[in-house]
Amino acid sequence: MISVSDILTAIESGADIPTLAPVVRRLLMFKGDGKDDPKLFLDLVRNDPGLTVKMIRAANSPNEDTEAVDSIEAAIERLGFQNARNLALTVSFIDDDRRDSADVAEHQRMQWLWERSISTATAAENFASKLHIENLPKVRTTGLMLDIGIFFLLYNFPQYYNTILDRWQSEGGDLIEIENAEIGVDHAVVGQQLAKEWNLGIEVEEAIFKHSRKKLNLSERSNGSYYSLANLASAVLFEDRHITGLERAVRYAHDLLGFERANFIDELQRITIIADQVSIKISLSTGPALPYVDLLKGINSELGRATLTSEQMIRALEVSMRKAELLAQKLEEANHKLRDAANHDPLTRIHNRRFFEEFLNWNFNRAQRYNTTLGCMMLDIDHFKTINDTYGHLTGDRVLQGVAEVLKENLRNTDIVARYGGEEFVVLLPETKTDAVYTTAVKLNRAVRQVQFPLPEGSFSVTISIGFVSYSPTHMTNVNAPMDVVHMADVNMYSAKEAGRDRVWPDLQAANGNNPQ
């Protein structure tokens, strides 16, 4: 099971998207001896999502004061051919030489996604040219990166995300809807967040988020609609629902470009031929395939051991690879512990205030940008000082742990609960309207009330007071900062205490004339 917080942690930890082993084999053909053809290198990079992302991320480094680049051509020009080549050799890749069935399936699915991205980039460039859009290299680069969210989820969460793709491909339906139901977030939102984190540019962020949505906007013909049409064209070629997909794509092509069915099918054939030629040229090796270890040796060789003799190089590589594997394992364990410690409260093992505020900022900005709602609750254990004074601080700690566990068990995977300080907890509920936030608050209030905390001479229970708010950028124009939402929920929590504790405020049941909790 993966959650939004797992995905956020992966993004923040610097996780990447990979390429395929055949692409790395092609990279190893560039020796860096001054005889390489930069045009052939560009042709390779501009058709690979993993390499494209890596180049643009490096070219748009936060340390650069120059204007951001928006195409792979501009990125390589800024980096310089030799720097770009060396950077490309560090790309992660999916190996096609492993024999485990799960690895083979992962490689096949990544190959499918990689070829689909090339098709989408080719289609975007084709349709943009029909609309006389300038800077077609930028369009192709953006088109290639539209599905980086799928690459990211598939590579970093393969076991769980593969089941989602299996369900989508076998049952049909909308992948966006399936992802939101299963994870609480979809690949377009993940891709958009990656584009923001990786400095790929605001236009790339917008294109990634909008291209796969159901409601396609044709009001501005030059404002990225060709990305949506390119996505529909690739769906016809790479998904099993050809008939329904074709009808939808034909309608959209007619509205956007004035194409009749025959014109659109001709374009599909042209796109298929071009994309296939690119895929074959890159993915098929002219010689015998290099095994996995040889690839690693070649890459390590490029990174600084060219002066060693062949025998010395192999011995040094074997030793360094063993050390690197051990070091990587220890570093990963250490990083995991550090990330865990940085994001979680040590007593209750739920998220801490620092992580909550990061999650709040992301969801507040998203609510403002896409005009969605954002629910927030502040919760306080009633008479907690009395519990500490009466039963001792160890019992008080057990109460905090027990309440935290109950809150986690009664929230969705998409919600975040954190310890805010002392006996206060805070809950964030993305895209949740007022009635749903209230219903969840009542559920939490009752669930905590039912827990019994054992004592040598019996047991006792506790109650909580909850204040909540459901933020809407349309109806709360006076709210300008994320912490304003928390403050509003906090004010309502104190109102709940003043009204007698052990309740939710505002009390919508009482306001509607029903019996309160």
Find all residues with CB under 8 Å of 310, minimum gap 6, and list them.
none
Same domain for 472 and 359, yes or no, is: yes
Same domain for 137 and 25, yes or no, is: yes
Same domain for 102 and 139, yes or no, is: yes
Same domain for 263 and 339, yes or no, is: no
22-26, 42-46, 356-360: lowest mean pLDDT where? 22-26
Helix residue spans in 284-309 (DSSP H): 292-302
Same domain for 262 and 198, yes or no, is: yes
Q: pLDDT-based confidence at 260, cuts 50/70/90?
A: confident
Same domain for 241 and 316, yes or no, is: no
- Give first-to-last CA distance, the chain, whole Å: 34
Complete DSSP assignment for 420-459: EETTEEEEEEET--HHHHHHHHHHHHHHHHT--EEETTEE
Same domain for 43 and 174, yes or no, is: yes
Q: Could you tell me the two tokens for 498?
A: 């003043």
| Pairing of β 424-430 and β 374-381 | antiparallel
In degrees rounded to 5, what are phi and psi of residue 450? Answer: -85, -10
Q: Look at residue 293 and tell me if it is in a domain.
A: no
**3-class SS of residue 466:** strand
- What's the confidence (pLDDT) of residue 216? 53
**Cβ(467)–Cβ(487) under 8 Å?**
no
146-155, 209-218, 300-309, 310-319: lowest mean pLDDT where? 300-309
Whichever domain contains 28, its CATH number is: 1.10.3210.10
Whichever domain contains 499, its CATH number is: 3.30.70.270
| Pairing of β 453-455 and β 93-94 | unpaired
Residue 480 has pLDDT above 90, yes or no: no
Same domain for 109 and 207, yes or no, is: yes
Same domain for 308 and 377, yes or no, is: no
Q: Look at residue 348 and tell me if it is in a domain.
A: no
Q: How many residues does this entry show for the chain?
A: 517
Same domain for 264 and 366, yes or no, is: no
Of the two residues 372 and 413, the one the predictor is more confident about is: 372
Same domain for 230 and 377, yes or no, is: no
Residue 309 has pLDDT above 70, yes or no: no
By C-alpha distance, which of 163, 154, 216, 117 is closest to 7? 154
By C-alpha distance, which of 487, 517, 481 is closest to 502? 517
Instruction: Considering the candidates 239, 302, 423, 457, report the single residue annotated as catalytic.
Output: 423
Q: Could you tell me the two tokens for 20?
A: 């395929």
The domain of 415 spans: 353-511
In degrees rounded to 5, what are phi and psi of residue 234? Answer: -65, -35
| Run of H or E including 505 | strand 504-505
Q: Give the sign of the dihedral formed by CA 212, CA 213, CA 218, CA 219.
A: negative
Q: Look at residue 289 and tell me if it is in a domain.
A: no
**Cβ(3)–Cβ(413) under 8 Å?**
yes
Q: What value does the mean pLDDT of the chain take?
A: 81
Distance CA 317, CA 140 (A): 38
Average pLDDT (93-97) is 68
This prediction has a pTM of 0.60
Tens digit of each residue's pLDDT (9 = 90 or more) over 141-170: 999 999 999 999 988 888 888 888 888 888
59-68, 137-146, 254-263, 317-326: lowest mean pLDDT where? 317-326
What share of the chain in percent tops pLDDT 90? 29
- What's the confidence (pLDDT) of residue 336? 58
Domain count, the chain: 3
Average pLDDT (177-203) is 87
Q: pLDDT-based confidence at 413, cuts 50/70/90?
A: confident
Q: Look at residue 298 and tell me if it is in a domain.
A: no
- Out of 317, 343, 369, a domain closes at 343
**Cβ(383)–Cβ(392) under 8 Å?**
no
Q: Could you tell me the two tokens for 10?
A: 């992966």
Q: Look at residue 452 and tell me if it is in a domain.
A: yes
By C-alpha distance, which of 247, 226, 225, 227 is closest to 236? 247
By C-alpha distance, which of 498, 499, 475, 470 is closest to 485? 470
Q: Could you tell me the two tokens for 372?
A: 């969605």
Q: Look at residue 260 and tell me if it is in a domain.
A: yes
Give strand pairing partners of 454: 459
- What's the confidence (pLDDT) of residue 134? 86
Residue 58 has pLDDT above 80, yes or no: yes
Same domain for 277 and 384, yes or no, is: no
Answer yes or no: 325 catalytic: no
Residue type, 177: E
**Cβ(183)–Cβ(88) under 8 Å?**
no
> Token match 């907890």: residue?
425
Average pLDDT (228-236) is 87
Residue 37: burial class (beta carbons within 10 Å; 0-12, 13-18, 19+): exposed
**Cβ(443)–Cβ(455) under 8 Å?**
no
Tens digit of each residue's pLDDT (9 = 90 or more) over 497-512: 999 999 999 988 776 6
By C-alpha distance, which of 228, 239, 491 is closest to 378? 491
Distance CA 411, CA 475 (A): 26
Tens digit of each residue's pLDDT (9 = 90 or more) over 459-469: 999 999 999 99
Q: Look at residue 287 and tell me if it is in a domain.
A: no
Q: Look at residue 387 and tell me if it is in a domain.
A: yes
Find all residues with CB under 8 Å of 420, minimum gap 6, and list them.
353, 356, 378, 426
> Token match 């969605």: residue?
372
